[in-house]
Chain A
Amino acid sequence: GAVVSQHPSRVICKSGTSVKIECRSLDFQATTMFWYRQFPKQSLMLMATSNEGSKATYEQGVEKDKFLINHASLTLSTLTVTSAHPEDSSFYICSAGVSGNIQYFGAGTRLSVL
């Protein structure tokens, strides 16, 4: 149980295009989902917290118009990187929260912007 599916696992896009990443909790409902960004050999940096049916809460320094988050159901959250640029190239990871603070993570999405 507690499987979080993240898709795609890797995406390469041209500068200026938008990329959507999906995060699904497969066998449980998650009222809260989290989006992280991780640079090579560094820790996970929380970008935003997403609650089903409400607007996401972004961490300081994260542009909400750049990183659009939608959490339309208890099992699906999406992150859209709008007008991607090479500096947005990174490893993006989602997690789904269950009661008791426990978070289960997706496998991550490697974004490369050319």
Chain B
Amino acid sequence: QQQVKQSPQSLIVQKGGISIINCAYENTAFDYFPWYQQFPGKGPALLIAIRPDVSEKKEGRFTISFNKSAKQFSLHIMDSQPGDSVTYFCAASKGNTDKLIFGTGTRLQVFP
């Protein structure tokens, strides 16, 4: 019930295309779903996050789609750029300042 399953493990997208990364969870008590971007040798950086009271959140080229009934959420990167070529982690947590449960990560490669 504590797992967050992330797919795909790796993703190759052409420049300008849409990158889509999916996550699924089991615990219906989760109420916070962030996406993190991690550059090599650095800690994760918060990219965008959503709570279950909305189905979509957009910030610039990044959009989270959230499907509460399916217990799934996804990250869409529009107009993907070579600079987006890093690792992305989804996560979930419940309550206030509770621990984050991370997905397994997706290594994105955007080629020119």
Contact = CB atoms under 8 A, between A and B. Distances in A.
B105 A97 contact: no
A35 B93 CA distance: 16
Given A101-B93, A107-B43, A108-B42, A46 B99 contact: yes
A8 B75 CA distance: 32
A107 B44 CA distance: 8
B21 interface: no
A93 B99 contact: no
Contacts, number: 62
A55 B59 CA distance: 38
Report the interface size class on chain A: 20 to 34
B100 A103 contact: yes
B83 interface: no
B99 to A, nearest CB: 5
A44 interface: yes
A42 B106 CA distance: 10
Interface in A95-114: 95, 97-108, 110
B46 interface: yes
Contacts of A41: 105, 107
Interface of B: 31-32, 34, 36, 41-46, 49, 89, 93-100, 102-105, 107
